[in-house]
Amino acid sequence: MSGFSAPFDQAVKAVTALGSPFEITSHQSGGVDYRIYANAPKNLIELLAPGREFSEQEFVIYRDERWSFSHFHRQADLLGVQLIRQFNIGKGDRVAIAMRNSPEWMAAFLAIISVGAVAVPLNSWGARKELQQSLADAHCAFVFCDQQRLDIIQPQDLGLTAIVVHHQGTLPLNCHSYRDVVSDVSVVDLSAIELCSVLSAIVIDPNDEAMIMFTSGTSGSPKAALFTHFHCCQSMTNFEAVAAAAYMTNIDVYTKHLNSGRPSKALITVPLFHVSGLFAQFLLTLRGGRSLVLMYKWDPGVACELITQEQITIFVAAPSMLLDLARHPKFSSVDTSIISNVSGAGAATPAKLAQLLKEKFSHSLPGSGWGMTETGAAGASLTGCFYDLKRGSSGFVNPIVDLCFCDKNGIELQPGTPGEIWIKSPTTIAGYTNNPEANENDFKAGWFKTGDIGYLDSDKCLFICDRAKDMVIRGGENIFPVEIENTIQSLPSVLEACGFAIPSEQYGEELMVVVRVAPEDLDQIDEKMIQAHVREQLANFKVPCIVTITDQAFPLNASNKVMKKRVKAIFGPK
C-alpha cells in the first residue's frame, strides 16, 4: 500500500469487510476463481425493486415530459404484461430496442427483463445494414423502435414484430403503436398489484441471460456482448461500492453539497445503448430513487440550458463532450457550483480536460475512469481529491477486478511496463454471441483481452496509453498516438488531434497527425509549429512526420469517440 493510495485502500477495506453491505467473498465459476460482492442482488428485477418505493417522486424529464417513478413503473409493467399476453414473449426471447433516448426506451428495457426476456439495445446511429446485421446476430424476432428506426430497419420485411413509439401514419404489418399497446382494454384497468402478480410469477436465475450489448466498433465490426443477470448485478454493486469509498475519501465536499438541500439530478448526455448511459446512469438512478434528465442527442448548447433550467448536480460525459461544453458560448452563464460530480470517462483522459475541470468546475468533485462494454464498465476509477494529483490517470483498480499487462504473445510484463491489458472480474462477459473466432482469441481462463495498452504506476493507478491496434511502431520504437494527441491538444487554439500510422520506407511506419482548429485559427497554426511543440515536450522520435491542419469536424461514433479509420481515409496518404 503506497502512501498516496492509503486513504482509498482503507476506505475500500472498510466498505468491503465481512458483514458490510459490500462484503467481498470468493466465488468459483467455470473453474475460475473470482472475488464477488456477497450481498449483490440475484437478478436485475431484485436490483431495481427499490426504485418502486419512490412513487410520485420525479424520475425522468425529457423535453416537455416529466414522468414520476410510479408512472414509469406502470408503463413498464403494462408493457411487460402485454409482451406476455399479446405477443407471447417469454424467458430467453431476445427483444431489441432501436430508438434514440426517450422515457419509452427505458420503460421498454425494464419490461423486457421483467418477463425474463433478453434486452438487446441497438446503436440508434446505425445505418440499415448495421442494424439489420445486429438483429440477425442477436437472433431477435421482436423490436421496440421509433419512427426513424422503423423506416430504416423495415421490420415487416424481416419477419419481425415491432412496437413503435411516436409513430406517424399507418403502421406496416405486425407493427403496433406503443400508445395502443399500453392503453389496450385488456390491461389498462389492471391495478399495480394485478400487474405485478403476473410479472412476479416469472422466476429469473442469476445465470439467465439478461442483455446483449454491442461494442462501439472503433476497432472493427460491433460485437454482441452477452450478459447474465449475475454479470449485471455484480457490475451495478461495484458502482455502488466504489461510490461509497469515494464518499469516505471526500466527505467534506460531499457534505457541503448534501447540506445545500438540492436534490440529486443527473443529465444523461450519452446514448442509453451505451454501457455508460445504461448501467452507470439509467439503472443506478432508477435503483437509487434519483432524478435524471434525458438528452435526445448531444448538443453542448442544449446541455448548458438544461444544467441551468433543471439544476443538474451530476454530469458524466466523454472527455470530448466536456471540452465541447466548456468551449460553448452559453457555458459562461452556467453556474457550475451546483454540480457536485463531473466526470469524463470512456477514453484516455487528456491533460487539457484535467485543467479545464479544475478551472471551470472548481466546486465539483472531478472524476475519471476506465472500463469497457465487455466488462460492464468495471475497471478503474478515481474521484475528487485524487484526480488532480494523478492527472491523466484512469484511477484505482476496482475491488473485484484483476488486471494483467502482457506483450503481444500474452506474456506478463514487468510492473510499470506498458502492455496490453487483460482483465478478470465477475462483471465481465463469458463471450460474444455468434463470434467463435473472437471468443477464441480474446477470452482465456476467465481473462479478457481488452485491446487497450496501459500500466499501473507505483501508486497502483491505471494509465491508459492507447488502443493496441492504434500503436505506431517506428523503427522499433513504440509510439502511442494518444500521448501525442494530448500534447498537441494542450495548445489553446487546438480543438482536436487524431494520430495514426502511415507507411514509411525508412522506418516501416511513421506517425501522421490531423489537427482540428476553428476556422478563424487556420492561418494561426501550421505543421512546423505543431512539430516544434511536440519536440519540446516529448522524445524526438514521437514528433509526427506529417501534420495536417483542418477546420473539418472529425467523424465520431455514438460514444463520441473519434473514428480513426475514417479520419485516416479522409486525410491520410492515398
The domain locations on the chain are: 6-39+225-467, 68-214, 471-571
Q: Which three cell numbers stand for residue 85?
A: 399476453
> For domain 471-571, which architecture applies?
2-Layer Sandwich (3.30)
Q: Which three cell numbers stand for residue 515?
A: 489537427
Which CATH entry fits the domain spanning 68-214: 3.40.50.620, 3.40.50.300, 3.40.50.880, 3.40.50.980? 3.40.50.980
Taking residues 85-101, report their average pLDDT: 96
pLDDT of 349: 62
pLDDT digits (tens, 9 = 90+) for 407-454: 988 999 999 999 999 999 999 998 999 899 999 999 999 999 999 999
pLDDT digits (tens, 9 = 90+) for 17-73: 999 999 999 999 989 999 999 999 999 999 999 999 999 999 999 999 999 999 999
- Exposed, middle or buried by CB within 10 Å (0-12, 13-18, 19+), for 392? middle
Burial 61-83 (b: 16+ CB within 10 A, else e): bbeeeebbbebbbbbbbbbbbbb
The residue assigned the cell 473466432 is: 437
Taking residues 308-317, report their average pLDDT: 94
- Exposed, middle or buried by CB within 10 Å (0-12, 13-18, 19+), for 378? buried
Average pLDDT across the chain, whole number: 92
Closest CA to 182 of 84, 75, 301: 75
Whether 6-39+225-467 and 68-214 share one fold: the answer is yes
The structure's pTM equals 0.89
Q: Looking at the predicted structure, is the pLDDT value of residue 252 above 60?
A: yes
pLDDT of 335: 93
Residue 385: how many CA atoms within 13 Å on its side-chain side?
Answer: 15
Q: Where are the beta strands (DSSP E) in 166-308?
A: 175-177, 209-214, 224-228, 265-268, 291-294
Closest CA to 86 of 13, 187, 164, 156: 187
pLDDT of 220: 60
pLDDT of 218: 54
Q: Which three cell numbers stand for residue 338?
A: 451546483
CA dihedral of 93, 99, 101, 102, whole degrees rounded to 10: -80
Outline where 428-563 has alpha helix (H): 436-442, 481-489, 527-537
pLDDT of 1: 56
For 453, the 3-state DSSP assignment is: strand
Q: Looking at the predicted structure, is the pLDDT value of residue 168 above 80?
A: yes
pLDDT band at 473 (very low <50, low <70, confident <90, very high): confident
CATH 3.30.470.20 fits 6-39+225-467, yes or no: no
Taking residues 173-181, report their average pLDDT: 96
pLDDT of 518: 92
